[in-house]
Amino acid sequence: GAGVSQSPSNKVTEKGKDVELRCDPISGHTALYWYRQSLGQGLEFLIYFQGNSAPDKSGLPSDRFSAERTGGSVSTLTIQRTQQEDSAVYLCASSLDRGGREQFFGPGTRLTVL
Amino acid sequence: ILNVEQSPQSLHVQEGDSTNFTCSFPSSNFYALHWYRWETAKSPEALFVMTLNGDEKKKGRISATLNTKEGYSYLYIKGSQPEDSATYLCAFMTRGSTLGRLYFGRGTQLTVWP
């Protein structure tokens, strides 16, 4: 079946603009995760959704970052008033549940803030 | 923030060499330890999910061991091939309120020369 898809694959934006990144998880996966990798850094957890439970937002770096997951499927990560330090590869992953099962990653969105 | 350490940071080996990497993690509240392979221009791909102390997993020429009491895992590659060149990530999951959240190390970048 189809894997995790993300769009756009690349996004170049100007400082101060808002951006939306989209993730389409594997059908039937109840857990969805967002990570980012900044230059020279490891994968950093941002947020995860598990079914209808309240999302764990503890990794979001500032209140400019928000995410939603509609209908338990597609998720959108929104970054408002982008800053240069937001430049990174944003990865989405999904898994059957949050209980330690392997996560399936999408190809990522490379965000560049000029 | 829980610290996951991986060593070495990078490794260059000749085709046919065997190699191993280390992942260190906090031993308290252990739930699961994941290994992923991340090839350039591709998505991270799960290799192993390990949950029990003493677990040993194998996939082809790649194997992994887990010691939850002392907080480390080893990944072994036997007879390295150029296609094994990738960044190998380990990630740790704890019990409790953060269940589901993976804490990643920075990875070991392996280059296998033909």
Residue B101 has a pLDDT of 86
Contact at CB, A100 and B89, closer than 8 angstroms: no
Is the C-alpha dihedral spanning A18, A23, A24, A29 positive or negative?
A: negative
pLDDT tens for each residue of A58-87: 899 999 999 999 887 899 999 999 999 999
Chain B residues near residue A3 by CB distance under 8 angstroms: 43
What CA dihedral angle connects B18, A103, B30 and A68, to 10 degrees? 150
Chain B residues near residue A98 by CB distance under 8 angstroms: 99-100
pLDDT tens for each residue of A4-57: 999 999 999 999 999 999 999 999 899 999 999 998 888 999 999 988 888 889
- Kind of pairing, strands B30-38 and B45-50? antiparallel
pLDDT tens for each residue of B85-105: 999 999 999 888 788 888 999
Residue A1 has a pLDDT of 55
Which strand (E) or helix (H) includes residue B12? strand B10-14
Tokens 């999951």 locate to: B93
Mean pLDDT of B45-72: 95
What is A29-80 written as a DSSP string?
Answer: --EEEEEEE-TT---EEEEEEETTSPPB-TT--STTEEEEEGGGS-EEEEE-
pLDDT tier, B49 (very low <50, low <70, confident <90, very high otherwise): very high
Q: How many helices (H) and strands (E) does chain A have?
A: 0, 10
Chain B residues near residue A35 by CB distance under 8 angstroms: 104
pLDDT value at B2 more than 80 = no
Tokens 């102390």 locate to: B53
3-class secondary structure, B46: strand
pLDDT value at A89 more than 90 = yes
**Which residue out of A50, A103, A110 would a mutagenesis test of the B interface target, given it has the greatest number of B Cβ atoms within 10 Å?**
A103
Residue A41 has a pLDDT of 85
pLDDT value at A99 more than 80 = no
Burial (CB count <10 Å: 0-12, 13-18, 19+), residue B6 = buried
DSSP-based helix, strand, coil % in chain A, nearest 5: 5, 45, 50
Contact at CB, A107 and B42, closer than 8 angstroms: yes
pLDDT tier, B1 (very low <50, low <70, confident <90, very high otherwise): low
Rounded to 5 degrees, what angle do the CA atoms B86, A110, A12 make? 150
pLDDT mean across residues, chain B: 93
Of B23, B32, B26, residue with least CA distance to B95: B32
pLDDT value at B6 more than 80 = yes
Alpha-carbon gap, residue A29 to A16, rounded angstroms: 34
What is B60-113 written as a DSSP string?
Answer: TTEEEEEETTTTEEEEEESS--GGG-EEEEEEEEESGGGTT--EE---EEEEEE
Closest-CA distance, B80 to chain A, in angstroms, reads 24
Alpha-carbon gap, residue A97 to A88, rounded angstroms: 26
